[in-house]
């Protein structure tokens, strides 16, 4: 790969790290912010999410890799003290690629993509949602909201909701409740529901006042919308892998090691 761009978190540590990486890469690559082949995220998992959204219309041409400027990341393969390894690996140009599934989220007037998850949330009052799957009525949900995550996002917000962790390569999406209300009058499934690319989740409500749609790091006011449709997108985000970090190792490193 010849052309690269960086997307950097706005703190001093990340900016310094970005400058060091650029200084090295500029000796054998060209910086091209508009038309890069490789996008290097410098920061945290949120920076990787931001990078994918920044280049969401160029997913066919762009590959992503992340370096963490803080402690530990789930979407990043390198730590800050490994930046010369990253430069060395990029120079060697021997890599595998893997695709991360995205969600396609359609409101009445917009279409968004999500790498981690989409959350329909209301913290002001209990949100009533009609949940339809492939056009068939499934349940009426009442509570703070619903989260639909990808396999990549299953270790993020979804995990805090008690959702299952799903191997990041799987083409699956998971519907989880955010503080659902369950008693004799109000009943919804309660447990996370895992679906695949054949499913479309349709969420509708007569009243979206105070509701927001959280799409990874982006927040959209839902007022005015009557429904939201969520499915696995045809397009995927391509990540390069210079070194092998087995998924189970990544899980252990992030959640189980002291
Ligand atoms: P942030 O700075 O609040 O980060 C939240 C944490 O989520 C960070 O520790 C980050 O490393 C981690 N994270 C993000 N994506 C991850 C993934 N795929 N697997 C494992 N951990 C992941 O917010 P941010 O950095 O802007 O990232 C936005 C993401 O944060 C959202 O997509 C959401 O999944 C997550 N988040 C989680 C909670 C929660 O667990 N209660 C709350 C808010 C946001």
Which residue's CA is minimally distant from atom 3 of ligand 1? 46
Q: Is 75 in the pocket of ligand 1 (CB under 6 A)?
A: yes
Residue 93 a catalytic site member: no
Q: Is the CB of 155 under 6 A from ligand 1?
A: yes
Q: Is 127 in the pocket of ligand 1 (CB under 6 A)?
A: no
Domain 3-95+242-256: assigned CATH number: 3.40.50.10330
Active-site residue, from 45, 77, 89, 216: 45
pLDDT of residue 257: 81
Q: What is the pLDDT of residues 187-228, one digit of tens each?
A: 899 999 999 999 999 999 999 999 999 999 999 998 777 899
Question: In which residue ranges of the chain is CATH 2.60.200.30 found?
Answer: 102-235
Residues 192-202 have pLDDT tens digits of 999 999 999 99
Which residue from 46, 150, 168 has its CB within 8 A of the most atoms of ligand 1, so it is best to mutate?
Answer: 46
State residue 249 phi and psi, 5-degree precision. -65, -40
Burial category of 2 from C-beta neighbours within 10 Å (exposed 0-12, middle 13-18, buried 19 and up):
exposed
- Provide the total of helices (H) and of strands (E) in the chain, helices listed first: 5, 16
Q: What's the fold here for domain 102-235?
A: Tumour Suppressor Smad4 (2.60.200)
Give the whole-angstrom CA distance, residue 206 versus residue 227. 9
From residue 60, alpha-carbon distances to 111, 126, 192 in Å are 18, 40, 32
pLDDT at 69: 95
User: Which part of the chain has CATH 3.40.50.10330?
Assistant: 3-95+242-256
Nearest ligand 1 atom to alpha carbon 254 = 20
| Measured distance CA(119)–CA(228) in Å, rounded | 11
Q: What pLDDT does 7 receive?
A: 98
- The reported pLDDT for the residue numbered 109 is 87
In short, whether 30's Cβ falls inside 6 Å of ligand 1 is no
Nearest to 232 by CA among 137, 148, 138, 147: 148
Q: Read off the pTM.
A: 0.95
SS3 of residue 141 by DSSP: strand
């Amino acid at each position: 790969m010849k052309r690269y761009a960086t997307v950097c978190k706005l703190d001093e540590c990340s900016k310094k790290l970005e400058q060091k990486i650029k200084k090295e890469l500029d000796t054998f690559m060209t910086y091209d912010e508009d038309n890069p082949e490789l996008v290097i995220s410098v920061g945290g998992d949120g920076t990787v999410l931001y990078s994918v959204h920044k280049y969401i219309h160029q997913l066919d041409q762009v590959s992503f890799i992340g370096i963490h400027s803080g402690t530990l990341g789930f979407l990043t393969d390198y730590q800050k003290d490994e930046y010369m390894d990253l430069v060395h690996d990029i120079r060697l140009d021997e890599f595998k690629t893997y695709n991360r599934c995205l969600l396609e989220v359609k409101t009445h007037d917009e279409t968004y993509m999500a790498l981690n998850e989409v959350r329909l949330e209301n913290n002001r009052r209990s949100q009533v949602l009609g949940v339809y799957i492939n056009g068939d009525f499934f349940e009426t949900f009442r509570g703070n909201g619903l989260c639909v995550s990808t396999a990549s996002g299953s270790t993020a917000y979804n995990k805090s909701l008690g959702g299952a962790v799903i191997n990041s390569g799987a083409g699956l999406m998971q519907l989880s409740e955010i503080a659902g209300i369950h008693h004799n009058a109000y009943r919804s499934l309660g447990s996370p529901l895992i679906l695949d690319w054949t499913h479309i989740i349709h969420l509708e409500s007569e009243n979206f006042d105070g509701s927001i749609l959280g799409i990874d790091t982006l927040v959209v006011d839902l007022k005015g919308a009557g429904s939201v449709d969520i499915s696995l997108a045809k397009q995927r985000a391509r990540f390069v892998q210079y070194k092998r970090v087995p998924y189970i190792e990544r899980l252990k490193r992030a959640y189980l090691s002291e």
